[in-house]
């Protein structure tokens, strides 16, 4: 493993450690998600070649987080979300580390907080009926794409960007909240901010009934009790390692660890 990736992984785990401590203090629930959940189960740590970390929160917990964060937040962290920050092009949230820089292709030319981050994906309840679920996805997909196109005008075709200027971020948020508020079923949950693979992001709510602390390197973070169902849905044979040529870390363009450089050199 190269030195930069080693330090970045230590930095990502440090961000989650701080966020975990905040959630414990505020009695908030989160769960490791996607590749981070896979890393916990298969490697008991971050995936050796991974360069990001993901967590889930239910929307009601996320809304509590936003309210509490405005009153009291960890001084080292910054909450960046579509709900509170103008011109954020993603419909999930990021917990960023102040005093650092983590540039991706989509952020390198943008005037926004670019610190090292973990992604926070929000879980919403979904209709039990598959057709209703598909209709909801199509509606949400339009909102997600318009948000993305508004925020990535440097790389978006001009006609798409001009079209999205007709809709404000406030309007898009209200439409999203309206669609979500109409869902009364409580059997399924999922992240509906994805452009693709929506069906993979649908899970039985029982899979998230309990939080369990699980070893993750030198730390312990929360995973959902139904991690097997979730990982099988997302990755099928999840304990099987991918081919060597697919063990890549594609996200980072450039990175600056700031005053954390020495801290992240060590894994003690």
Task: Answer whether residue 157 shows pLDDT above 60.
Answer: no
Alpha-carbon gap, residue 32 to 213, rounded angstroms:
10
- Please indicate, yes or no, if residue 39 is contained in any of the structural domains: yes
What is the average pLDDT value for the chain, to the nearest integer?
88
Rank 127-136, 152-161, 189-198 by mean pLDDT and report only the highest: 127-136
Entry pTM = 0.91
Task: Answer whether residue 155 shows pLDDT above 60.
Answer: no
- Please indicate, yes or no, if residue 107 is contained in any of the structural domains: yes
Within the chain, strands assigned E span: 31-32, 54-58, 77-81, 93-97, 101-103, 117-126, 188-190, 202-204, 211-216, 219-224, 254-256
The pLDDT tens digits of the residues spanning 159-204 come to: 555 556 677 777 888 888 899 999 999 999 999 887 666 778 899 9
- Please indicate, yes or no, if residue 258 is contained in any of the structural domains: no
The pLDDT tens digits of the residues spanning 80-128 come to: 987 776 657 678 899 999 999 998 777 777 778 999 999 999 999 999 9
Confidence of residue 64 (pLDDT cuts 50, 70, 90): very high
| Nearest C-alpha neighbor of 211 from the set 31, 88, 14, 22 | 31
**Total Cβ atoms within 10 A of residue 131:** 8
- Please indicate, yes or no, if residue 78 is contained in any of the structural domains: yes
> In terms of residue numbers, what domain contains 141?
3-244
| pLDDT, mean of residues 212-228 | 98
| Nearest C-alpha neighbor of 258 from the set 118, 116, 117 | 116
- Please indicate, yes or no, if residue 260 is contained in any of the structural domains: no
Residue carrying structure tokens 């009934």: 209
Residue carrying structure tokens 């890549």: 248
- Please indicate, yes or no, if residue 265 is contained in any of the structural domains: no
DSSP 111: S
Alpha-carbon gap, residue 42 to 26, rounded angstroms:
30
- Please indicate, yes or no, if residue 191 is contained in any of the structural domains: yes
Q: How many domains does the chain have?
A: 1
Task: Answer whether residue 79 shows pLDDT above 90.
Answer: yes
Cβ atoms of 32 and 221 within 8 Å: the answer is yes
- Please indicate, yes or no, if residue 20 is contained in any of the structural domains: yes
**Residue-level pLDDT at 77:** 98
């Amino acid at each position: 493993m190269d030195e930069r990736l080693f330090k970045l992984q230590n930095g990502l785990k440090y961000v989650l450690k701080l966020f975990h401590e905040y959630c414990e203090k505020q009695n908030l629930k989160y769960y490791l998600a996607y590749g981070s959940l896979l890393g916990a189960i298969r490697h008991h740590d971050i995936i050796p070649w991974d360069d990001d970390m993901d967590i889930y929160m239910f929307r009601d917990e996320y809304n509590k987080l936003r309210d509490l964060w405005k009153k009291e937040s960890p001084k080292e962290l910054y909450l960046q979300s579509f709900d509170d920050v103008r011109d954020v092009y993603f419909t999930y949230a990021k917990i960023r580390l102040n005093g650092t820089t983590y540039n991706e292709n989509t952020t390198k030319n943008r005037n926004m907080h670019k610190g090292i981050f973990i992604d926070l994906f929000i879980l919403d309840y979904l209709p039990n009926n598959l057709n209703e679920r598909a209709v909801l996805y199509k509606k949400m997909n339009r909102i997600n794409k318009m948000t993305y196109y508004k925020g990535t005008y440097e790389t978006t075709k001009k006609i798409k960007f001009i079209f999205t200027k007709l809709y404000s971020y406030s309007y898009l948020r209200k439409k999203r909240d309206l669609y979500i508020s109409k869902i009364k079923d409580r059997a399924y949950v999922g992240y509906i901010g994805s452009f693709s693979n929506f069906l993979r992001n649908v899970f039985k709510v029982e899979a998230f009934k309990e939080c369990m602390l699980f070893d993750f390197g030198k730390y312990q973070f929360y995973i959902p009790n139904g991690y097997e169902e979730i990982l099988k849905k997302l990755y099928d044979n999840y304990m099987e390692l991918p081919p060597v040529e697919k063990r890549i870390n594609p996200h980072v363009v450039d990175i600056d660890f700031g005053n954390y450089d020495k801290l992240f050199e060590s894994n003690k």
